[in-house]
Structure 1
């Protein structure tokens, strides 16, 4: 039986969105030299604000500000830098409701996820790296590790504020200064973070935020006075960055795409596995680089598992992201929606069987229903290409060795999940799966103390944990 809930919308009144926003350079909001652009609410296609676009001259000013601030910031004792990071973390907690609503408006993800997942993790990352700031010599990277200098950071639109925290917190803890470029479709929480930096009394120039599209990101990455580049985004752009930085001496970390296998054995707790499958691929509309987009189910329980999965999908609610009852929010942009549709149509053309639960699609905004494909072959595009949407491809296996072979048959290597009651089997698979993160009887669990990153076309380097410090230190 499906229960019908009355709408429970979160109020927009906790957020004051300005008509226009400038660039944040050297502790101040300034105008940009490029053509301003509008950021749009993907749930209703209404413009939220006009945002400045940084050109090469603006990026140069930001890098110069970061270089000037580096001398002062890196010379502070680690305990003093930690105080600023702790202060930022506490302000994020104090403004968590405001930031969660702003993230949902700009990104399209359900308010439950912004409020209960993203914001607690954002604060946790700043708290965690604040604790490391005065302990770097004990991190295992030598007795006197030094900061690199200016870090140029480019982040994606799927977790705008969380990816900012992943990048900025370790960089500042290690004594670096930052020039960060948020995604053009989701700049508002990064600009709110700039205001938090002012509120926390962070010295001018330590954090600079330049908004714009790909050209702005390229200017940040290729600036001659940037010492370290960190990029999270598509594999295609990651390749371009790696090629452009080859031979420059800049330190580079890339966190790119994924096509994770979620492997379910016949002895797995079925209801728990179904919840893990749903969380693995439909969390954040599937806009997750480590999403469990390939379900590998043992042949003997295929039908039983699919029946249970379809029943569970029938209870998901798609709609207003600000409604606290919503499970599936809006796709982030028209361009991303077009990509999801194109790949889903390719799945049907290649012979896979498509299924979605009955759900009403709002008339305005960018929406795509949770979708399951069965009869998928390893050669199908939906089994090989990253869709970055709420689309699950189902394949079967008979033996653990076959599961490993199919799971590793991908150009990516970011994450995987294993569902079984046998601990020895979990360890056996984890040792053989070519994935940076392997979850056991869970999926999409994150902790600031745990490193995250991939192999092959999923990039290189690690973010989070003690390992995340290394990318920002001269060791």
Structure 2
């Protein structure tokens, strides 16, 4: 992809076909005919008027999922049959790589170099991984007396509602869909209001791959309407959600108000990267620190948005991080030379800009921030580094979900751990040290679902992802994701 120019991608973007209909037993408009415009944050232009579904549409999607589940064409199919469909689906995702990459680039402002090299190939790889896992997940035989046999099997739950965010529209959808569908469930997917397009195209490709009718629905619409309907629905057996902690709490409430459905939450983050004073290659550390917060314009739940650095290397490292932030090229996400694209929407940009202004008042010094001069929309925001921030300052406790790094200088290892663990979130953490013993010792003390040691935001489909505390519970990715979408069933045979 590296040899493709800005002009090449602009030409393809001009011809891009954008899906606009919901997907419930095939492409359909919203029952009441309502639409919502989805906007390119890089240009401010409307990409498509997408079906704006409501509670009745959500009901229709859940009914389709239940009908498909009860029919058993998917839920009771041989695991290898399901694997074959998921594999064909992965192949189709790769075949349509350019289209899917452009949909997320234009709909969410993501860099084309990321969507083509990470998001779309990664989504296909996740579909393949779960397809390949299906005939390798075994049940159990419990220890019993000689006159009995107790068999423990994993059973699909039924209808799963998946609610996903706008920062990785395609990949987050696949994180939920691949294990839920692999396990035999039906899924109703609600994409984010700001980035529904790739999810709608994904449903078309699923049908082409042979996924039976009704097994997957995609219902675009607002969280307070469609999301709440799915959360309260008595015929939804589980909700899997990635998004803010505040909305995660709502889904817990919805479950209590309805059928006590399972709710799995991957919620907010305020991750710290700890840099100890024994590190020597400060250039590598500075590169890692910058990547940990400024990747995807800081719109990453596990972004290491707090730098906790020991005094011995603090001054030199902070200077290098500030230099890297100032040098980042913020621009057109279709241009392969761009290092950071726009924020997803004007609404998100205004929120981030307000937090930048507040943070500058709480910091000793503020470097960068604000709207890029001459940019076509206010969604283009410069990275900001805030030094001299108290660990309990609001900017150090609030998930910005934008390119804002707070810096906290500490004297001791114990103080570093205390500051790193000093928020209610516990999704991820980073640690840089040249001492292997310190690496093991400090990593064990950091409260986080993933600790990346001498690397940035380590992630793979084979390892579980999720957090503790206000970051939620349950895990995406790995075989552990199947735990969320299956129930254990005991069948006891007595031969007396």
TM-score, normalised via structure 2 length: 0.91
Cα separation, partners in 2 of 1:229 and 1:343, compared to 1, 3 Å: same
1:3 aligns with none
Residue in structure 2 matching 1:335, options 347, 350, 360: 347
Distance 2:141 2:163 in 1: 27
Matched, 1:224 2:234: yes
Task: Tell me which residue corresponds to 1:86.
Answer: 87
The alpha carbon displacement at 1:348 in A equals: 2.1
Q: Look up the match of 2:460.
A: 447
Aligned to 2:147: none
Q: Does 1:429 align with 2:415?
A: no
- Which structure 2 segments of 5+ residues have no match? 143-150, 489-496
| Alignment-derived partner of residue 264 in structure 1 | 275
CA distance in 2, matches of 1:258, 1:343: 16
Q: How far off its partner does 1:32 sit?
A: 3.6
C-alpha distance in structure 1 between counterparts of 2:141 and 2:474, whole Å:
16
| Residue 12 of structure 1: how far off its partner (Å) | 4.1
8 A Cα contact 2:426 2:447, kept in partner: yes
Q: Is the 8 A contact 2:40 2:109 kept in 1?
A: yes
* 2-structure distance, mates of 1:205, 1:161: 20
Corresponding residue for residue 284 of structure 1: 296
| Residue in 1 that maps onto 2:131 | 130
Question: C-alpha separation between the residues in 1 aligned to 2:236 and 2:255?
Answer: 11
8 Å Cα contact 2:363-2:386 kept in structure 1: no
TM-superposed CA distance for 1:165, in Å, is: 0.5
Q: Which residue of 2 aligns with 1:252?
A: 263
TM-score by length of 1: 0.95
**Cα distance change of structure 1 residues 84 and 14 upon mapping to structure 2, 3 Å threshold:** farther
Does 2:457 match 1:457? no
Distance 1:112 1:258 in 2: 25
Aligned-residue offset at 1:218 = 1.1
Equivalent residue runs for 1:14-33 within 5 Å? 14=12, 16-18=15-17, 21-33=20-32
Change (3 A) 1:363 1:167: same
TM-fit CA distance, 1:351: 4.1
- How far residue 357 of structure 1 moved from its aligned partner, in angstroms, is 8.2
Deviations 1:172-213 (A, max 9, x none): 110101000000100000011011112212111111000011
Given the alignment of the two structures, is residue 181 of structure 1 paired with residue 190 of structure 2, yes or no? yes
1: CA distance, partners of 2:141 / 2:407:
42
**Of the candidates 135, 146, 155, which is equivalent to residue 164 of structure 2?**
155
> For residues 194 and 20 of structure 1, do their structure 2 counterparts lie closer, same or farther at Cα, with a shift above 3 Å needed?
closer
For residue 326 of structure 2, what is the aligned residue in structure 1? 314
Are 1:207 and 2:208 an aligned pair?
no
Q: 4+ residue runs of structure 1 moved beyond 6 angstroms?
A: 139-142
SS at match of 1:373: strand
| 1:376-455 superposed matches below 5 A | 376-455=389-468
Q: Please state how far the C-alpha of 1:139 moved relative to its aligned partner.
A: 9.4
Q: Distance in 2 between matches of 1:20 and 1:123?
A: 20
Instruction: Count residues in correspondence.
Output: 471
Residues 233-285 of structure 1: CA deviation (Å, up to 9, x unaligned): 01111111112212733111000000000111122221211111111000000
Distance 1:361 1:408, change over 3 A: farther
CA deviation string 1:310-336 (max 9, x = no partner)? 222233211001000101100101111
SS of the residue 2:239 aligns to: strand
Partner residue in 2 for 1:11: 9
Are 1:44 and 1:365, in contact at CA under 8 Å, matched by a contact in 2? no
| Cα offset, 1:143, TM superposition | 3.8
Which whole-Å CA distance do the structure 2 matches of 1:189 and 1:371 have between them? 30
Q: Does 1:61 align with 2:60?
A: yes
Q: Structure 2: how far apart are the matches of 1:258 and 1:139?
A: 36
Superposed CA deviations along residues 66-110 of structure 1, whole A, max 9, x for unmatched, are 111112211101010000111111111111122111110000011
What is the SS of the residue equivalent to 2:6?
coil
What are the within-5 Å matches in structure 2 for residues 347-362 of structure 1?
A: 347-356=359-368, 360-362=373-375
Deviations 1:360-387 (A, max 9, x none): 4513251210110001001211110000
Q: What's the RMSD between the two structures over aligned residues?
A: 2.1
Rg bigger for which structure? 2
CA distance in 2, matches of 1:430, 1:257: 21
The question of whether the paired residues in 2 share the 8 Å contact of 1:136 and 1:174 is answered with: no
- Say whether the 8 Å CA contact 1:59–1:219 is kept in structure 2: yes
User: In 1, Cα distance between the equivalents of 2:54 and 2:391?
Assistant: 44
Residue by residue over 1:122-166, the C-alpha shift from the partner in whole angstroms, topping out at 9 and shown as x without a partner, is 111101111122233259998411000000010000000010010
1:372 maps to 385
Contact 2:271–2:426 at 8 Å: present in 1 too?
yes
Q: What SS does the aligned partner of 1:296 have?
A: strand
Offset at 1:400? 1.4
Cα distance in 1 for residues equivalent to 2:343 and 2:99:
21
Which residue is equivalent to 1:102?
103
C-alpha spacing 1:474/1:20, structure 2 compared with 1 (3 Å): closer
Shift of 1:353: 1.6
Please, which runs of 5 or more residues in structure 1 have no aligned partner?
1-5
CA distance in 2, matches of 1:121, 1:73: 25
Checking the alignment, whether the CA contact within 8 Å between 1:313 and 1:357 is kept in structure 2 is no
2:407 & 2:202 partners in 1: Cα distance? 40
